[in-house]
């Protein structure tokens, strides 16, 4: 009972990254549908945020490990265009928020197709709308049509591309960026501070409030009839010859 009270009393931050919430849900569902003992490759694993979801499987991680950051234990330190394993090794592959960092995405998808067994499944997510990050290894953004073509050209079947978050989630993120990135007038001439300071300050405050509201709306209503997502999720299968 005390534990339940503590959980209820824990405050959620006002600004919520709905993409992370929905990506966790997508990977949890993918893991739940993965049979125990399956050999799983986390391609571009980073710090391994989804490793624990695949505790019932034989999980292996690959990453090029060139950034000054923390990585999960890696079985393969390599480029995803050249994974040092035999054909058809893995039953499942997950590849989250990695494709935009690969300068040869078509080659990488062909390689993931090679190391996946016939009948094996892949889950991949990639951004359509996101600022540059992990420089200089940031090359592309992807429409749903580009992703579908890349997967089809690589030899996958049953390609299903869906919005990760709804349009409200994209709006929430745009407002969050506005709150964080709008310039301040500190250090500017007095006339500029007087003219623009109140406007920018009020806009940052309003963006903060609206970002939290739109994020909560997105988690309750995934609106996909208009606007655009921030990210896409692709699921596909390697055909059985």
Q: Tell me the per-residue pLDDT of 32-48, one tens digit each, with 9 for 90 and over.
A: 999 999 999 999 999 99
Let me know whether 143 and 186 are in one domain. Answer: no
Let me know whether 39 and 136 are in one domain. Answer: yes
Confidence of residue 64 (pLDDT cuts 50, 70, 90): very high
Let me know whether 196 and 79 are in one domain. Answer: no
Let me know whether 109 and 201 are in one domain. Answer: no
Handedness of CA 199, 200, 204, 205 (dihedral sign): negative
Count of domains for the chain: 2
- Residue ranges making up the domain that contains 105: 12-166+228-237
Let me know whether 180 and 195 are in one domain. Answer: yes
- Would you state the pLDDT for residue 124? 99
Q: Are 219 and 21 in contact (CB under 8 A)?
A: yes
For the segment 134-155, what is each residue's pLDDT rounded down to a tens digit? 899 999 999 999 999 999 999 9
Q: For helices 18-32 and 167-181, give the axis angle rounded to 10 degrees.
A: 140
Edge-to-edge strand list for the sheet holding 231-237: 76-77, 58-63, 39-43, 90-96, 116-127, 231-237, 157-163
pTM: 0.89
Angle (CA) 65-233-82 rounded to 5° is: 35
């Amino acid at each position: 009972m005390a534990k339940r009270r503590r959980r209820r009393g824990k405050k959620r931050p006002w600004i919520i990254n709905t993409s992370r919430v929905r990506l966790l849900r997508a990977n949890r569902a993918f893991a739940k549908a993965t049979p125990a003992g399956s050999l799983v490759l986390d391609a571009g694993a980073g710090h391994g945020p989804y490793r624990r979801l695949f505790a019932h499987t034989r999980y292996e991680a690959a990453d090029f490990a060139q950034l000054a950051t923390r990585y999960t234990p890696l079985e393969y330190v390599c480029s995803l265009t050249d994974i040092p394993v035999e054909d058809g090794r893995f039953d499942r592959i997950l590849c989250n928020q990695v494709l935009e960092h690969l300068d040869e995405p078509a080659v990488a998808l062909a390689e993931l197709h090679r190391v996946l067994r016939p009948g094996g499944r892949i889950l991949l997510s990639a951004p359509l709308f996101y600022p540059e990050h992990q420089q200089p290894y940031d090359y592309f953004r992807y429409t749903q049509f580009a992703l579908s073509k890349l997967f089809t050209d690589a030899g996958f079947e049953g390609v299903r591309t869906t919005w990760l978050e709804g349009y409200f989630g994209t709006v929430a993120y745009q407002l969050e960026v506005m709150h964080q990135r709008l310039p301040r007038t500190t250090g500017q001439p007095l006339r500029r501070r007087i003219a623009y300071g109140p406007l920018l300050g009020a806009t940052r405050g309003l963006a903060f409030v609206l970002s939290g509201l739109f994020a909560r709306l997105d988690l309750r209503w995934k609106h996909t009839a208009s606007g655009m997502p921030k990210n896409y999720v692709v699921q596909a299968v390697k055909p059985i010859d």
